[in-house]
Structure formats: structure tokens, C-alpha cells
């Protein structure tokens, strides 16, 4: 792409993750030269369906599926080398080779076996109501080490630190003592196994490690277009989400600065992704949750089970209060509203337009999770539609009630819905307005996949 057309975009989640970001990134990939993950780690699960094949990526940017895209894992990502290597191997088995176009930041932090162990044990040790319900991928403990600094391991250390093994052994001795005290029973960490994993990571991943910050700036200066792929969702953001029931990174476009080394102001197309209803995995407040047969029906029809952990997702009505909040925080330019087809067949569809706690009405998200736990949703109902949406290709051809539902969401959130998901396939997506100029015809993308 030449400099005149150069546009950088970010696709990120407006709610608690699992919004369908993978599919949106995949749709946009052909228009971009570089795709960058800038936050989170293997807690994410980005799913893309191509014909009869499904790809579930946890660490590799979705751009890895596209032969012409450079896939970058930025400084803000915490990388479990074992998971990454399995993903690279799995794609290779399926005919997709990332050699020469995958780049891992030398500044990114390494998730090790003891981070995952600590994640599990600290959840087990916590009182039931304080459990976060993490993905147990070691994300929080690795970010904690990053902030602590002296106990962190970065990719650059794999290449350059002479006494890394000695330092890792010291960290493990300390960590064993802390975990033993926390659990009240002996906890053992196999230092030799951790070091063996580090050595495998070094030998296999070394060719991919580089200064991705420099790479991105050089690419942008040369007129290339960059797509930033947010992981998790803004209601899981460590600063702005439903704290403490959040993940440990900056999940919105504001995370691009620290997580990729690129000023977020360079990114002008901000595509916030949400589902046409709401879901959440793990613990924490969820005001519009449906603990009834409608919630079960949405879970079943939307196949709402976690990509990373397989846990059933909690389901509820679209929450316009939290969506407006994250849309505002991120200055979203376009909404991608996914899974509209899942709602076909319901007589009426609810939208949460406010929260009530005692006699107080909230139209934005309060900071206190305890207060949010007690909040009651104020639900506005819209008429449903019966038609299957899977073969609709234009917004104008949606049933009138579906169009009205989308327009009501636009009015409540204050942003145009530019992308609409009407099925799991790559081609089942409607595009409106200026985003259409970014993508070619939907479904007209090239992958390296052997099909």
C-alpha cells in the first residue's frame, strides 16, 4: 500500500472479550501490510472460520493466516513460548508457514511454567468471592514480574544474558518459598524443566526476535499500513475495566503506545467490536446477565464456550451502558456488531439502557465492583425477527426489525455500526460506510492455507 493510502487501524473489544475480533481482523488483513498484537498473551482466543476449517489463535496475530502480512508480537505482550511454538507448528502442519514474517519483540516478556502454576494456586487459595476466574495462562503473574523488574525475563534476555540460568534458578527458589507460604504446603517447581523450556524457546524462536518498535516505525515511514489487534476487551482493562475482575493489561487502543511503541494518535480508524448481546467468562459483575432459558438459548445458538478454556460463557442482553462507556474511552470510530444472526427467532430483544442501585440510576459504569454486583438492569425491549440472516449480504436486506435493532444500538452508543456479523464464516459479514473502502469484497481474501 502506498503512503497516500496509508491508514493505520485498531480492532479491539468493547466488552469482556470474545467479541469476534479475530473475524474482523481477518476481514481487514488484505488491506494491511503488518498486523500487531500489543497486549495480553495466551489468555486471548481469536477464532477465524475459513470454509470447513477453524483456526483458533491465542498468541499469533490473526494476520499470521495471511501470506503477505508481517505478523508482529509487540513489547506489551506476555508470551508463553510453548504455546507460541505449538501454534507455529500447528499452522505449519496446515500449510501456513510464518518463517520470515513473524516478528517477536525483544522487549516482550516470557511466561514461564511457574507463572502458570502461581496463577492456578493463587486462584485456588483465594476466597471464593475474590476469585477472578482467570484463564490460568500465567498472565497476571508474568505482568507482576514485569512491574517488579528484578524477577522478569524478556526475549532479549534469552539472547544476551550470560547468567540467565543462574538468575532464573534464584527466582524459582524465591517463588517456591512464596507459593509454599501461600498454600500452606510444599510447592515444588522443577527448575531444570523451566530452563530446558527456555533453551528450546531460545533455539527455536531466536530467528523471530527483533526490535519490533523500530520495524513498525520503519514500515510506517515507508508507507505501509499497520493493523493493531487488541486482545481481551475494554471491560477487562486493568485501569478502566470492572476491576478487580479484569486482566492485567491495557486492552483498548490506549495500549498501543506502551504495547507496540507507536503513538496511538497515528491510528485513525478505531474499530470497537461488540456482540449483538453480551457475554462474559470468569467472575465479576455482569448487570445485564440472563440467568434463564433465554441466556441458555443464546449460549447454545451462539456456541458461547471459551476458545481458550472451553468454559461456558455467561450470556445476557446487549449492555449499552458499558458499551457507551468503552466507546467514549477509546474514541471509537466504527463499531463491528457481531453475532446478529444468533438473535434470530427471539420474540423480543432486550437492551440494557441504565443500571439501578437502590434509588440511584447510573448511565455510565461505576468503579465499585460491589456496587455493580448489586445493580439491576433497566431493560428496553425491541421486537425480534424470525428470518435466518446467514445469507444476507447488504444491510438494506436485513429484516426491518434487525435494522431497527442495529440503529437503536447506534443511537444509544453514539457511533455508527460499520460491520455486522451474520454467521461464523469469513464471508458472512456486512460492511457499511467508509470501512468498505478498507476491505475488498468480503470473502475475497488470500490465505496460505492449503484448501
Contacting positions for ligand IMP (CB under 6 A): 16-18, 43-45, 132-135, 137, 139-140, 231-232, 236, 245, 247-248, 281-282
SS3 sequence of 280-294: ECCCCCCCCECCCHH
Specify the residue, 236 or 372, whose C-beta has the smaller distance to ligand IMP: 236
Residue 314 beta carbon to ligand IMP: minimum distance, rounded to whole angstroms: 10
Task: Specify the long-range contacts of residues 290-297, CB closer than 8 Å, at least 24 apart.
Answer: 290/315, 290/316, 290/317, 294/346, 297/346
Specify the residue, 143 or 155, whose C-beta has the smaller distance to ligand IMP: 143
DSSP one-letter string for 130-167: G-----SSSHHHHHHHHHH-TT--BHHHHHH-TTHHHH
Residue 1: name the closest of 39, 26, 24, 34 by CA: 34
8 Å CB contact between 242 and 365: yes
C-alpha cell at 157: 534476555
8 Å CB contact between 249 and 236: no
Residue recorded with cell 522443577: 190
Helices vs strands, H then E, count in the chain: 14, 20
Cβ neighbours for 90, distance < 8 A, ≥ 6 positions apart: none
Q: How far apart are CA 403 and CA 33, in angstroms?
A: 34
Q: How far apart are CA 49 and CA 54, in angstroms?
A: 4
Residue 118 beta carbon to ligand IMP: minimum distance, rounded to whole angstroms: 11
319 catalytic residue (yes or no):
no
Residue 361 beta carbon to ligand IMP: minimum distance, rounded to whole angstroms: 27
**Catalytic one among 8, 46, 109, 240?**
46
Specify the residue, 81 or 282, whose C-beta has the smaller distance to ligand IMP: 282
Specify the residue, 17 or 424, whose C-beta has the smaller distance to ligand IMP: 17
Residue 141 beta carbon to ligand IMP: minimum distance, rounded to whole angstroms: 9
Residue 228 beta carbon to ligand IMP: minimum distance, rounded to whole angstroms: 16
Q: How far apart are CA 317 and CA 32, in angstroms?
A: 34
Query: What is the β-pairing status of strands 360-362 and 278-280?
Result: unpaired
Specify the residue, 70 or 330, whose C-beta has the smaller distance to ligand IMP: 330
**Catalytic one among 18, 119, 334, 341?**
18
Beta-strand runs (E) in 179-283: 209-210, 226-229, 269-275, 278-280
Query: What is the β-pairing status of strands 70-73 and 34-37?
Result: parallel
Residue 45 beta carbon to ligand IMP: minimum distance, rounded to whole angstroms: 6
26 catalytic residue (yes or no):
no
Q: How far apart are CA 440 and CA 316, in angstroms?
A: 34
Specify the residue, 57 or 132, whose C-beta has the smaller distance to ligand IMP: 132
Residue 86 beta carbon to ligand IMP: minimum distance, rounded to whole angstroms: 18
The whole-angstrom distance between residue 139's C-alpha and the CA centroid of its chain comes to 13
Beta-strand runs (E) in 343-386: 348-357, 360-362, 376-383
Specify the residue, 224 or 241, whose C-beta has the smaller distance to ligand IMP: 241
Specify the residue, 62 or 134, whose C-beta has the smaller distance to ligand IMP: 134
Residue 43 beta carbon to ligand IMP: minimum distance, rounded to whole angstroms: 4
Q: Provide the annotated active-site residues.
A: 18, 46
Amino acid at each position: 500500500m502506498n503512503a497516500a493510502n496509508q491508514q493505520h487501524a485498531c480492532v479491539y473489544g468493547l466488552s469482556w472479550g470474545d467479541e469476534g475480533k479475530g473475524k474482523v481482523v481477518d476481514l481487514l488483513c488484505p488491506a494491511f501490510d503488518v498486523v500487531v498484537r500489543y497486549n495480553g498473551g495466551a489468555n486471548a482466543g481469536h477464532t477465524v472460520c475459513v470454509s470447513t476449517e477453524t483456526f483458533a489463535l491465542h498468541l499469533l496475530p490473526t494476520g499470521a493466516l495471511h501470506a503477505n502480512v508481517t505478523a508482529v508480537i509487540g513489547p506489551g505482550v506476555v508470551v508463553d513460548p510453548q504455546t507460541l511454538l505449538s501454534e507455529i507448528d500447528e499452522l505449519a502442519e496446515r500449510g501456513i508457514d510464518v518463517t520470515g514474517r513473524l516478528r517477536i519483540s525483544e522487549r516482550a516478556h516470557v511466561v514461564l511454567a511457574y507463572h502458570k502454576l502461581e496463577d492456578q494456586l493463587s486462584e485456588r487459595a483465594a476466597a471464593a468471592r475474590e476469585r477472578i476466574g482467570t484463564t490460568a495462562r500465567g498472565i497476571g503473574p508474568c505482568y507482576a514480574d514485569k512491574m517488579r523488574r528484578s524477577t522478569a525475563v524478556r526475549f532479549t534476555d534469552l539472547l544476551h544474558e550470560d547468567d540467565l540460568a543462574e538468575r532464573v534458578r534464584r527466582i524459582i527458589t524465591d517463588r517456591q518459598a512464596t507459593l509454599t507460604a501461600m498454600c500452606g504446603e510444599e510447592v515444588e517447581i522443577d527448575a531444570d524443566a523451566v530452563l530446558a523450556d527456555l533453551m528450546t524457546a531460545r533455539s527455536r524462536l531466536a530467528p523471530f526476535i527483533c526490535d519490533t518498535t523500530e520495524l513498525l516505525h520503519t514500515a510506517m515511514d515507508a508507507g505501509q499500513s499497520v493493523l493493531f489487534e487488541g486482545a481481551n476487551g475494554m471491560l477487562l482493562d486493568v485501569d478502566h475495566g470492572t476491576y478487580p475482575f479484569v486482566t492485567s493489561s491495557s486492552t483498548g487502543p490506549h495500549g498501543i503506545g506502551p504495547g507496540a511503541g507507536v503513538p496511538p494518535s497515528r491510528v485513525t480508524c478505531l474499530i470497537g467490536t461488540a456482540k449483538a448481546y453480551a457475554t462474559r467468562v470468569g467472575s465479576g459483575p455482569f448487570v445485564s446477565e440472563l440467568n434463564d432459558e433465554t441466556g441458555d438459548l443464546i449460549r447454545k445458538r451462539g456456541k458461547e464456550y471459551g476458545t481458550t478454556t472451553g468454559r461456558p460463557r455467561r450470556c445476557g442482553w446487549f449492555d449499552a451502558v458499558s458499551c457507551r462507556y468503552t466507546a467514549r474511552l477509546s474514541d471509537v470510530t466504527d463499531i463491528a456488531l457481531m453475532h446478529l444472526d444468533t438473535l434470530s427467532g427471539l420474540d423480543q430483544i432486550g437492551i440494557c439502557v441504565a443500571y439501578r442501585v437502590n434509588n440511584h440510576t447510573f448511565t455510565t459504569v461505576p468503579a465499585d465492583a460491589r456496587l455493580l454486583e448489586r445493580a439491576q438492569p433497566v431493560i428496553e425491549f425491541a421486537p425480534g425477527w424470525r428470518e435466518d440472516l446467514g445469507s444476507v449480504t447488504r444491510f438494506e436486506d436485513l429484516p426491518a426489525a434487525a435494522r431497527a435493532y442495529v440503529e437503536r444500538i447506534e443511537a444509544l452508543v453514539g457511533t455508527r455500526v460499520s460491520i455486522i456479523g451474520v454467521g461464523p464464516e469469513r464471508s458472512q459479514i456486512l460492511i457499511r460506510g467508509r470501512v468498505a473502502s478498507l476491505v475488498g469484497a468480503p470473502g475475497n481474501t488470500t490465505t496460505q492455507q492449503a484448501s
